[in-house]
Structure 1
Amino acid sequence: MNLQQAQKFTHLRCFVTLGLLALAQGILAQLPAAESLLSNGLNSFEVYGSTAPHALVEEVAVTGQPFTKALRVNTFKQAVDKGNYGLRADINTNLHKGDVLWISFKARCLESTRETGEASFEFRFDQLVNGKYQWPSYLERGVSVGKEWTETSLPFVLPKDVKPADVRLIFKFDTYAQRFELGPVTFLNYGPGVKLSDLPRSFVRYEGSEPDAPWRSAAAERIEKYRKGDLSIKVIDAKGKPVPGAQVAVRMKRNAFNWGTSTNTQRLLDTLRPESKIYRDTLLKYFNQVVLENEMKWSAWTDPHNPHEQTLKGIQWLKAHNIPVRGHVMVWPSFQHSPKIVAELKNDTAALRALVFRHIEEQLSKMKGQFTEWDVVNEPYAHHDWLDLLGKEEMVKWFKAARAGAPGVKLFLNDYTMFHLSITHKSPN
């Protein structure tokens, strides 16, 4: 179905085959039988919202997964309206206070305009009064997914009796333009006899996050060796005699490592608004290192409303308070987050390469000696427009240029969107 076909319909009804997700099957098989809350083994959704026809939702085939069909959602034209739209499904049975419900599904991002490169949406179990949404929802969670199929599972307890007309399952789309696929959705009622801890739930996981991961024992040994030590205190009076039963209090005066936050020099230098003084006092009280939030990014760097003199004055204020500053960032290899002049060179790689190096050299020259650390490259995992044109090895050249112009400064590649939800049966401790 294309967009023109979608516009002909007020509602688009789509079907996804229900099935237990493969990673959870072993756990669920040990539990009492559950009742599916979506009719006849099919998960029946319809597009809702005032601009629903503009959201392209179609059923597509899937390979390489334990399921063969998914819903593909495209909000690139829908997103500009920023309306309340998404997918919804009704349940088919009465529910009771204390029932333990479990929802599980898989999704992946195909394309997104979000800074992270991820697709995001909410899934909710709404309560309704006379067919209209009534705050709060019985369940409401936001989900962000990357390019790989990501499994999300969550159990929850229903706080009161409800009828099918009183509730609705919702997948609400983000207002950012994006394309993503929503795979099998399982929604089950285990009744009151199952504990939440008995059911699988999703947590952010990474390699080595296990409580018994090998690196933890080695880290504990290093903590004992380097971070701890014996302290002997002798309390004497004016005559040099020991004071029996003396009470001793120890207060740390200096951290062995830094506590950092992001800041902007406009707020630091503002003397007109009372809240700016509160901001400065709070920063000095709790932090001893900062990173400049936005003003070193290329678009802000070329903004006439963001004078470099202001940035330098703000850095001097921080230095006067013995707060080291981290620079962020020389190169963000994304046309979306760069001045228009950069995007105009997408068909001229030689000119693009030269312009990037001139920008690096300009920042190195104007900000020489200001930073103890500097992010050279920002988020290449999700934002790699220039790398697609110039090659990944171009990052090495950027680092070499930065090292030549900033000897002694610690240089970094800053990134995220590296970890995603994975299913587990145990709590994350």
Structure 2
Amino acid sequence: MKNLFTLLLILTGFTLIGQDAYHSNLQAGLQNEYGLPASTWAMPNTEQATIAAAWTYGLTATEETVSGLDFSRKITFDIPQAGANQWNAGFGISNTAQIDAGDACLLVIYLRSPDAQGKVSIFVEDGTTFEKEAYLTAELPDEWRMYLIPFESGKNYPIGSLNAGLHLAWQAQTIEAGGLAMLNYGQGISAEELPSKLYNEFYGGWEPDAPWRAEAAARIDSLRKATLTLKVVDDQGLPISGAAISLKMLQHEFAFGSAVTPRRLAGNGWYDPVYEEKILNLDGQGHGFNMVVYENALKWPAWEQGWVGTPSETANATEWLVSKGIRVRGHNILWPGWQHLPPDLYDNQDDPAYIKNRLFSHIEEVTHFPGIEGNIEDWDVLNEITTNRSLEFALAGKPGYPTGREIYVETFQKLAEEDPATGLWINDYITIGQGNTGGELYHRYKQFIQELIDAGAALDGIGFQGHIGLFPTSIYDVQTVLDDFHTSFGKKARITEYDTDPAMDDTLAATYLRDFLTMVFSHPSVDGFLMWGFWDGAHWHSNAPLFYQDWSLKPAGQAFIDLVFNEWWTTENGLSNTNGEWSTRGFKGLYEVTIDCGNGNILTDTIRLSEDLTLVKSGGELVVNTTGQLPAIDVSLFPNPASHTLNITSPYPIISIRVFNSRGQLVLERGEAPLPIRTLPPGRYTVEIGTTHGQVLKDFVKMD
């Protein structure tokens, strides 16, 4: 019996009697500091055995003994050059003990970068499928940091089937590592109860005095503001001093929005009045989103199969949103992986004519569907084409499709034909959200965009998804990516799908959102920022940026409101001076202006501030871009509201008429009155009337 016990101890208790000082101290330290139970070792329990079992590729590794640290052996990795992908140089080791599904495990590793410029990805993955249990990208300082990375095993891993280590080919660099170990706590404790040391709050640009902050503030003042000058004159054109002027911002020009579920809106099948109200009133002061995108409802299979409502419900929600002055994006026309396409395309993948006809029929149907037609501001024509290449590969080499990507140009052309007023965009995740400023996928995205432009596709903008991982993307890298694409293509940019990893704590999520949003708002190419959901109750990871499940505001939600509706919001009051003038600098957007000259002479109107603007109050009108003494321009619209024809009278010859919808889009242009408005959707419109004596802005309502 004694011999049998000894044999069992050797077989099952090796981790107790064979571990070295580092592993013994590590295990005891974790138990003492965090109150953890005993664990077993999923990987070798000595430093020597760990290094001996490890493998490297694409780099040079040297080992040496060290003193004064928690561990006694370190490895120095010299990576000679950046790889096409970060995994083109690496270091790793496989598990030396069975890991069962549901086991709570803790990966430990010490890392430093001698020049404080290092960047590594730490992985735990299936050695065959490369499916990740954990994957974190960290920027390293020059001091040693101990990383503790907990995870719950997603499946059984026999010995030798789970790998852990580093991807190092982000750049030419030198990285030092030591103390790699993995503890298995079994299923008596959850991974959430294990300690975590990630240092992810130290993303690039996190410092309160980081130089990018002052630079961004200066750009915001220059790019996102304009000067408004109001001149108040009497009927003889003489200045009126002391007129009380109030300027109240109603909506940003820059798009601030979110993915939404249309079936929750406008009395549809999942109608949620709280959800609907929050879209209009995020802060309790009546300030809401000015743009939305549907997460799923306009995706091709979802549209045809009714995943999240019928097309009629989607159209109903669209009309409701537009009536509230909220712009709507279309997402998406073509997501070219088989798993994202109707199943019959896979069945007919060898028939290019079938695929093209099917695609074109879908474009015709969705763009001309009542309630959708004329109400989509822009479309993600292509989504994630860098990694979803099924359609490309199926068509490649067939007549008319030498690369297979010619179908993308045809998609742009068809959509432009069917809906010429809609902006055409491309959307992908492989840059900012992945922390990539180079590499194979990054350059593939640029290559495919250039192909579209060279082939004549009417590309209006480039979408950058912003699914931010547990280690937030450096703010400097965000700027680098936006600068690069703006310099390369000169197109508008937009953050299309912002959220953060569910494991990120709320304080960091708020801090990072504030920094990220500041950078993108300051960038000259960016015209909008959209979250991929705003409420935990309708978010793909139940971790939206703004609201918890019970609708209480998250710290990140407060950060968003503080920036968008306070720091970047303009409300001003003042008096006209002796020259009848009052001037201010405000954020670009839609405003309500009230001018009170006394004695009941009050004018209230809506204006759009998009560039430096001078308005003259002459009589009962605001006249645009005129100076000097000016007689009143008494322009009348009738009937108002109108349904078929809008008549316009003016004491001076009319030379131009332009009609803008509530989104600021030009929807009708004529050289003379009356205006045929029968085909305009119901809603509020602004008409700009140009006369020989200046321009006048007037509002009217289009009825059914």
Normalising by the residue count of structure 2, what TM-score does the alignment of the two structures yield? 0.35
The equivalences for 1:13-412 within 5 A come to: 13=44, 15=51, 16=54, 36-41=69-74, 69-71=90-92, 83-84=102-103, 88-89=107-108, 106-107=120-121, 122=134, 143=136, 152-153=139-140, 169-170=148-149, 172=151, 182-183=166-167, 186=176, 202-203=203-204, 211=212, 223=223, 227-229=225-227, 231=229, 250-270=247-267, 276-285=272-281, 286-304=288-306, 306-366=309-369, 367-390=372-395, 391-412=404-425
Deviations 1:314-346 (A, max 9, x none): 112223223232111110111222333333344
- Tell me the distance in 2 between the aligned counterparts of 1:422 and 1:354: 36
- Tell me the distance in 1 between the aligned counterparts of 2:291 and 2:89: 51
Paired letter, 1:203: G
What is the CA-CA distance between 1:261 and the residue it aligns to?
2.0
Per the alignment, residue 195 of structure 1 pairs with none
Distance 1:270 1:12, change over 3 A: farther
What is the CA-CA distance between 1:296 and the residue it aligns to?
0.7
What is the CA-CA distance between 1:278 and the residue it aligns to?
1.6
Native 8 Å contact 1:202 1:421 kept in 2: no
Distance 1:348 1:143, change over 3 A: farther
Native 8 Å contact 1:36 1:187 kept in 2: no
- Tell me the distance in 2 between the aligned counterparts of 1:348 and 1:360: 19
Paired letter, 1:279: Y
What is the CA-CA distance between 1:288 and the residue it aligns to?
2.2
1:387 partner SS: helix
Distance 1:395 1:86, change over 3 A: farther
What is the CA-CA distance between 1:143 and the residue it aligns to?
2.5
What is the CA-CA distance between 1:270 and the residue it aligns to?
4.1
Normalising by the residue count of structure 1, what TM-score does the alignment of the two structures yield? 0.54
Distance 1:404 1:266, change over 3 A: same
- Tell me the distance in 1 between the aligned counterparts of 2:392 and 2:107: 39
Paired letter, 2:92: L
Deviations 1:251-280 (A, max 9, x none): 32343344322212210034798x921211
Native 8 Å contact 1:204 1:422 kept in 2: no
Distance 1:229 1:340, change over 3 A: same
- Tell me the distance in 2 between the aligned counterparts of 1:247 and 1:361: 52
2:425 partner SS: strand
What is the CA-CA distance between 1:401 and the residue it aligns to?
0.7
Distance 1:407 1:84, change over 3 A: farther
1:203 partner SS: coil
- Tell me the distance in 1 between the aligned counterparts of 2:335 and 2:163: 23
What is the CA-CA distance between 1:422 and the residue it aligns to?
7.6
1:357 partner SS: helix
Which structure has the higher relative contact order (CA within 8 Å, separation 6+)? Answer: 1
- Taking only the aligned residue pairs, the percentage that are identical comes to 21
Deviates more, 1:256-265 or 1:33-42: 33-42
Native 8 Å contact 1:104 1:187 kept in 2: no
- Tell me the distance in 1 between the aligned counterparts of 2:407 and 2:267: 39
What is the CA-CA distance between 1:231 and the residue it aligns to?
4.5
What is the CA-CA distance between 1:309 and the residue it aligns to?
1.3
Q: Which has the larger radius of gyration?
A: 2
Distance 1:278 1:371, change over 3 A: same
Paired letter, 2:74: G
2:149 partner SS: strand
1:302 partner SS: helix
- Tell me the distance in 1 between the aligned counterparts of 2:414 and 2:335: 15
- Tell me the distance in 2 between the aligned counterparts of 1:232 and 1:287: 28
What is the CA-CA distance between 1:416 and the residue it aligns to?
2.3
Native 8 Å contact 1:120 1:143 kept in 2: no
- Tell me the distance in 2 between the aligned counterparts of 1:338 and 1:258: 29
Distance 1:119 1:153, change over 3 A: farther
Paired letter, 1:359: H
What is the CA-CA distance between 1:88 and the residue it aligns to?
2.9
Deviations 1:69-128 (A, max 9, x none): 523889xxx9xx97356673488xxxxxxxxxx99763399x99xxxxx97654xxxxxx
Native 8 Å contact 2:300 2:342 kept in 1: yes
Paired letter, 2:149: I
Distance 1:252 1:202, change over 3 A: closer
Deviations 1:329-378 (A, max 9, x none): 11011122233333334455554444333333332333432312122111
Paired letter, 1:289: M
What is the CA-CA distance between 1:396 and the residue it aligns to?
0.9
Native 8 Å contact 1:35 1:188 kept in 2: no
Distance 1:230 1:312, change over 3 A: closer
Deviations 1:226-247 (A, max 9, x none): 833265698xxxxx9977xx99
What is the CA-CA distance between 1:175 and the residue it aligns to?
5.6
2:375 partner SS: coil
Deviates more, 1:341-350 or 1:384-393: 341-350
For structure 2, the residue ranges without an aligned partner over 5 or more in a row are 1-40, 45-49, 61-65, 111-115, 156-161, 169-174, 180-200, 233-238, 282-287, 396-403, 438-473, 477-514, 516-704
Paired letter, 1:365: H
Distance 1:342 1:182, change over 3 A: farther
Paired letter, 2:378: E
Paired letter, 1:229: T
Deviates more, 1:34-43 or 1:324-333: 34-43
- Tell me the distance in 2 between the aligned counterparts of 1:333 and 1:360: 15
